[in-house]
Structure 1
Amino acid sequence: MLKNFIDHKEVSVDMWGGFPKVIKAVFPTALIVIDRFHVMKLVNKALNKIRLLLEFKGLKNRCLLLKNNQDLTSDARRDLQKLLNQSPCLTIAYELKEELRDIYETSTTVKMGLRRFPKWLVSAHCLFGQTAATLEKHSQEICHYFIQRTTSGVMEGINNKIKLIIRQSYGFNTFDSLRKKLLACLFK
C-alpha cells in the first residue's frame, strides 16, 4: 500500500487542525506529512516542562537538554551528564527526546520508521502525556515523513524572510508597494 504513495505529491504542515481540510480541498490527492521540526518542537516543549516541574531552572540547563546531543561539546556533555544524574525522570525524558530524533535521522525505510515510531509512542505516553497523545493522533501523517523525508523547512524560511521584510517595510501605504518590495527581495 505504501508504494502507491511514492508517486503522489506531498504537503508538509504542522499539526494545526485546519490544514488537512484545506489540503484536501486544494490538493485532493496529496499526501499530508506532519513536519519533523514541529514534532520535535512539541517534544522539546514537553521536555522543558518536565525540567521546570523538577525545578532544574536556568538557561544553561534548558540549552543542555534541548540541544541535539551530537551538537554538544565534550564539556557540555559532561555538564549534561551531571544534570541527568540528579533525576532519573529527567534522564528518561531526555533519552526519549533523543530517541525520537534518532528515529528521524536513522530510519532508512518507510517500514523501519513505521515500526519504530509507534514503539516510541508507547514509552513516551508515561512522561510526555498529552504531547504523546497528540503525536499518536497524528501518527499516520507523521510517519508519512519516512516515504520521501519531506519537510516544510524551505517554506518556513520564506515565511520568516517575508515577516522580516514586512517589519522593515513599515510605513508602506499601499499593498502594491509592499508586493513590489517582496518580489524584489525574494526573487533577486
Structure 2
Amino acid sequence: MIDSHKQDDIIEILKQQPIEIREKVEEISVDMWGGFPKVVKEVFPNAKIVIDRFHVMQPVLKELNQLRKQTGVKIKGSRFILLKNNIDLTEEEKVKLETVLKYSKRWRLAYTLKEDFRSIFETCKTPEDGQEQLKEWLQKAQVVYGAVLETIHNHLDNICNYFLNRTSSGVMEGLNNRIKLIK
C-alpha cells in the first residue's frame, strides 16, 4: 500500500519492482484520478488502464441522489431505495420503489437510466459493444444527468477496457475499507 497521492512518490515506489515483472502487468484497475495514466504509462509499459466499474457508477449515483434532494420531496428511505441495484431489491422494496417513483417523473427517468447504465456493465462482452452502448446511454441521459456525462465521456476508452476481462479493483477496495475501519 502506498500512502501518497503524489505521482512521483507512487512512481518511485512502484519502480522498485524489476522491469521484467512490471512489463508482465497487462491491466491495472483504477479510479478516475487524473494521475493514474502517467503512473501506469511510466511504470507498467504494457498495461491497459481499466477504470473500475464501481468508480464509474459512483458519480451516476451521486447525481441521482442530488436530483432526489433537489426535488424537495422527502420520503423516508427514498435515498436507499433509489440508489440500490434493482436486482438486489426485495419484493417489499420494489413496492416501496414504485411508490417513491410515483412522486416524480424525473426520478423515474433518472432511476431507469441508472439501471440501464448498470446493465451495460452486466451485459456487454466487448470494448466495442460497451463503447457503443455507453455512447447511446450518454445521449439518452442528457435530459437528466449533467457533469457525470462529461466525466464518463472523458474516460470512455479506459472505462471500456473493463469489457476486455471484467477486471475490477473491488477486492482491493474492500480490503482498503476494512483497514480504514480497523484504524
Shorter-chain TM-score range: 0.7 to 0.9
Find 1:154's aligned residue among 129, 154, 171.
171
1:60 correspondence with 2:73: no
Count, aligned residues: 160
* Alpha-carbon distance, 1:115 to partner: 1.6
| Correspondence for 2:46 | 29
Q: For residue 31 of structure 1, what is the amino acid of its counterpart?
A: K
Larger CA Rg, structure 1 vs 2: 1
For the structure 1 residues 162 and 82, does the alpha-carbon distance in structure 2 shift closer, same or farther, using more than 3 Å as the test?
closer
Q: Note the alpha carbon deviations across 1:99-149, whole angstroms, 9 max, x for none.
A: 011111111333321221111111122311111111111111111101110
What are structure 2's unaligned runs of at least 5 residues? 1-23
Find 1:137's aligned residue among 117, 133, 154.
154
How far apart in 2 are the matches of 1:163 and 1:53? 32
Which 4+ residue blocks in structure 1 deviate beyond 6 angstroms? none
Q: For residue 26 of structure 2, what is the amino acid of its counterpart?
A: K
Q: For residue 37 of structure 1, what is the amino acid of its counterpart?
A: F
How far apart in 2 are the matches of 1:111 and 1:41? 23
Q: Point out the structure with the larger helix share.
A: 1
| Correspondence for 2:31 | 14
TM, length-normalised to structure 1: 0.79
Find 2:68's aligned residue among 51, 63, 75.
51
What are structure 1's unaligned runs of at least 5 residues? 1-6, 168-188
RMSD: 1.7
Task: Report SS of the residue matched to 1:128.
Answer: coil
| Correspondence for 1:122 | 139
